[in-house]
Amino acid sequence: MAATKTIVITLPKNFGGFNKQNMSTPTAQKLMILPAGSTQYQGQFLQQLVKSEPTDPSLEKPPRKRQKLDHLSMEEKIMRRKLKNRVAAQTARDRKKSKMDELELQLAEAQAQIADLTDLAATLAEQVRFY
């Protein structure tokens, strides 16, 4: 049984050249998930997405170690941690707002569809009454 790999590509906001129907939501603009080896002809930037991984585990590099912060004072470490936390919190808020905007858009579309279908049902009921 062959397992399919997935490559996640994060695109810059101003990157052009992708299908507009696939990029209808803000989330879809940021993340585009494609199976490994799939071919996408999108301008000059992407001809073929292929992820090649070494099959021999001995060829893989060991994971990088985290940078030691011994050169920073305790106050600088605290400030650094606060800044990182602030950035992470803002990112989470942005992600939440994007998701809420997407859900509100879906709700508005669903409500519009309900209104259209209600009007259609009333029209069809009138036509049935005349026959």
One domain, residues 75 and 120? yes
The stretch 96-100 carries a mean pLDDT of 97
**Global pTM?**
0.44
Among 102, 106, 83, 105, residue whose Cα is nearest residue 94: 102
The stretch 26-32 carries a mean pLDDT of 45
What's the pLDDT score for residue 13?
Answer: 62
What's the pLDDT score for residue 34?
Answer: 46
What's the pLDDT score for residue 33?
Answer: 47
> How many separate domains does the chain show?
2
Which residue did the predictor score with more confidence, 16 or 67? 67
Among 4, 6, 5, residue whose Cα is nearest residue 32: 6
One domain, residues 129 and 78? yes
Q: How far apart are CA 41 and CA 72, in angstroms?
A: 48
One domain, residues 35 and 74? no
Measured over the CA atoms of residue 63, residue 84, residue 101 and residue 24, the dihedral's sign is negative
Structural domain boundaries enclosing 129:
68-131
What's the pLDDT score for residue 65?
Answer: 82
